Copies of this chain bind each other. A is one copy, B any other.
């Protein structure tokens, strides 16, 4: 009998009415003869409430990032949200006549490392868990949480329920992991910006990973990495459908590149307004400057994304531009300013009014001209490119935020993504 993992996020279980709708979707799969494990998030808003309490109780320094102030007690508090949803859904399924029970992370068990607040799953020895599935019981698993080897509660960080679902699917050998969300699949771009955006029937792990990293909020990066590593077939689909409505290959399948018949050069256009650009002027043009700057930022856990260096007008000096997450920008500037003497530069400026727009596609590997098409399309609309960064399967540009929608639509059209 085939096993299926279904995952429902916070908006899908926001209240009892929504939980009953989730139960109906689960019931349809169980009635179709599948062994079902359901992974649930906390009810929408609950995690934020819990985090706010920990801020009040624990934040010695409220300017710290969440991951910096997260600890074992933060995890004990925040993990309670998923516990509630798991119990409520198990109850609801029982009242519909199904055998069902809730599983906390420590009960499965989902064993993680000790990195509280952003723990990584190390092992899911789910033998006993699998037996209950074989026995016909629906398993309702609290997502986002695990247990360390020393028996403390841990959480996987935001979006961690996706990771729970994929890891569990790998552990129990599920035929597929269905991620129910508030959209009905992965689109060529955000349909709120480009009405002609189309849902992709299939997308490769690599592309999905870039999409997730580059601003598409459908799946959590780590869950895609894990699906890719274990070859878990993931389907993204809407939880706002009626039971049975998802049959017949609806949603978007995330799978191996080889399993995609219809090849495209570019699969999607992603964008993010979460970045800030920091510019350093008049840097000494000698080796070691970059490592000095980025070493200090790395020590402070500031992630740097795009970097470009250029020669300044006067000889022997350079300018440097790089991007960091908006929430880190003030701290990054502070760190750089504090090191002004050691590094030696004239001035620093920060620009939060930028957006990163990216085109993604595995077809780039074998096709020339993708960059040319991109730059041409942007130039024809008068969009100025500030920074460029590339990988094997994506090209990203940093532009003035005011041009975001214009750029997204121009690129969507330029690669023919709006054509059925």
Residues of A within 8 A of B (CB): 16, 19, 50, 53-54, 56-58, 60, 71-77, 79-81, 83-84, 86-92, 94-95, 101-102, 104, 106-107, 151-153
A153 to B53, CA, bound (A): 24
B90:A76 contact, CB within 8 angstroms: yes
> Across the interface, which residues of B come within 8 angstroms of A92, CB to CB?
57-58
Main secondary structure, interface of A, reads helix
* A106 partner residues in chain B, CB cutoff 8 A: 106
Contact B107 A57, beta carbon cutoff 8 Å? no
On whether the beta carbons of B74 and A91 are closer than 8 Å, the reply is: yes
A77-B84, A77-B87 given. 17 additional CB < 8 A pairs? A16-B53, A50-B84, A58-B92, A58-B94, A58-B95, A60-B95, A72-B101, A73-B101, A73-B102, A74-B87, A74-B91, A75-B87, A76-B102, A77-B83, A80-B81, A106-B106, A107-B152
For this complex, 6 residue pairs linking A to B, each with C-beta atoms less than 8 Å apart, are A16-B53, A57-B92, A57-B95, A73-B87, A73-B94, A73-B102
Q: Is the CB of A16 within 8 A of B57?
A: yes
Copies of chain A in the complex: 2
Q: Are B77 and A107 in contact (CB under 8 A)?
A: no
Shortest CB distance A195–B (Å): 38
B57 touches A104 (CB 8 A): no
Chain B residues with CB under 8 A of A71: 91
Compute how far the CA of A53 lies from the CA of B152 in the bound complex, rounded to whole angstroms: 27
Q: Which residues of B contact A75 (CB under 8 A)?
A: 87
Q: Which of A54, A86, A88, A102 neighbours the largest number of chain B CB atoms within 10 Å of its CB? A: A88
Contacting pair A77 B72 (CB below 8 A): no
Give Cα A88–Cα B88 distance, bound, in whole angstroms. 24
Cβ distance A110 to chain B, nearest Cβ, rounded Å: 14
Whole-angstrom distance from the CB of A64 to the nearest CB of chain B? 13
Contacts of A58 in B (CB 8 A): 88, 91-92, 94-95
Report A79 CB to chain B, min CB distance, Å.
Answer: 8
Q: Which residue of B lies closest to A109 (CB)?
A: B151
Closest residue to A91 on the B side, CB-wise?
B58
Q: In the bound complex, what is the Cα–Cα distance between A71 and B72 (angstroms)? A: 29
Contacts of A86 in B (CB 8 A): 76
| A87 B16 Cβ-Cβ under 8 A | no
Residues of B within 8 A of A57 (CB): 16, 19, 88-89, 91-92, 95
Q: Could you tell me if B153 and A104 are in contact, using CB atoms closer than 8 angstroms?
A: yes
CB atoms of A88 and B77 under 8 A apart = yes
Distance A16 CA – B87 CA, assembled complex (angstroms): 26
Given contacts A57-B92, A92-B58, contact A83 B84 (CB under 8 A): no
Residues of B within 8 A of A90 (CB): 73, 76
CB-CB under 8 A from A101, the residues of chain B are 72-73
Residues of chain B with a CB closer than 8 A to A53's CB: 16, 84, 88
- Closest residue of chain B to A89 (Cβ to Cβ) is B57
A83 to B155, CA, bound (A): 14
Docked pose: A101 CA to B148 CA in angstroms: 15
